[in-house]
């Protein structure tokens, strides 16, 4: 068993060494490509290019922020418009309620006036009835005095 494990260990080392040599070959290939394609510049040019690259990244970030703020502004404008519409609807509802309350108040006032007129008529009728009752009582008394006890108590 130990020999089998040693064999596996050797195979692993062999595979690792093969991978390292492949990696070395790949790095050499990359180095050759870079030497052919690379552009060598002085420090001043590199610093300017770095600054321009940094400014481009800053501009990109700021553009994204502007877009986000524009979306937020659009949402705020939409919400404000919705709030104005709701306010108008509420004001219209309030006006309608006020008009209805005014109509009901007028109707109650008219009903009160009609009730007062009827009460005056009832009082006048009651006064008239009282007056007639008194006249009837007087007439009964006169009749009893003149003609006997025909209308009196039995």
Report yes or no on whether pTM surpasses 0.85: no
Between CA 51 and CA 44 the distance in angstroms is 11
Any domain includes 128: yes
**H-type helices in the chain, by residue range?**
2-37, 43-147
Any domain includes 66: yes
* pLDDT of amino acid 76: 96
Any domain includes 153: no
pLDDT digits (tens, 9 = 90+) for 71-113: 999 999 999 999 999 999 999 999 999 999 999 999 999 999 9
Is the distance from CB of 143 to CB of 151 less than 8 angstroms?
yes
Any domain includes 9: no
* pLDDT of amino acid 1: 59
What is the count of structural domains for the chain?
1
* pLDDT of amino acid 154: 45
Any domain includes 19: no
64: domain range? 24-148
Between CA 81 and CA 87 the distance in angstroms is 10
* pLDDT of amino acid 33: 75
Any domain includes 13: no
Residues 6+ apart with CB under 8 A from 49: 41
Inform me whether the pLDDT recorded for 133 exceeds 60. yes
Any domain includes 110: yes
CB burial readout 69-84, b (16+ within 10 A) else e: eeeeeeeeeeeeeeee
């Amino acid at each position: 068993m130990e020999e089998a494990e040693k064999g596996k260990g050797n195979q692993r080392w062999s595979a690792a060494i093969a991978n390292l040599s492949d990696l070395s070959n790949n790095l050499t290939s990359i180095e050759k490509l870079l030497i052919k394609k690379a552009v060598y510049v002085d420090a001043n040019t590199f610093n300017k290019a770095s600054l321009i690259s940094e400014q481009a990244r800053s501009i990109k970030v700021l553009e994204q922020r502007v877009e986000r703020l524009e979306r937020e502004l659009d949402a705020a404008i939409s919400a404000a418009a919705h709030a104005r519409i709701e306010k108008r609807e509420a004001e219209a509802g309030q006006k309608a309620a006020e008009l209805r309350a005014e109509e009901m108040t007028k109707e109650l006032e008219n009903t009160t006036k009609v009730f007062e007129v009827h009460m005056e008529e009832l009082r006048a009728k009651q006064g008239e009835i009282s007056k007639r009752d008194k006249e009837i009582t007087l007439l009964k008394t006169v009749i009893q005095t003149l003609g006997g006890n025909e209308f009196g108590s039995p």
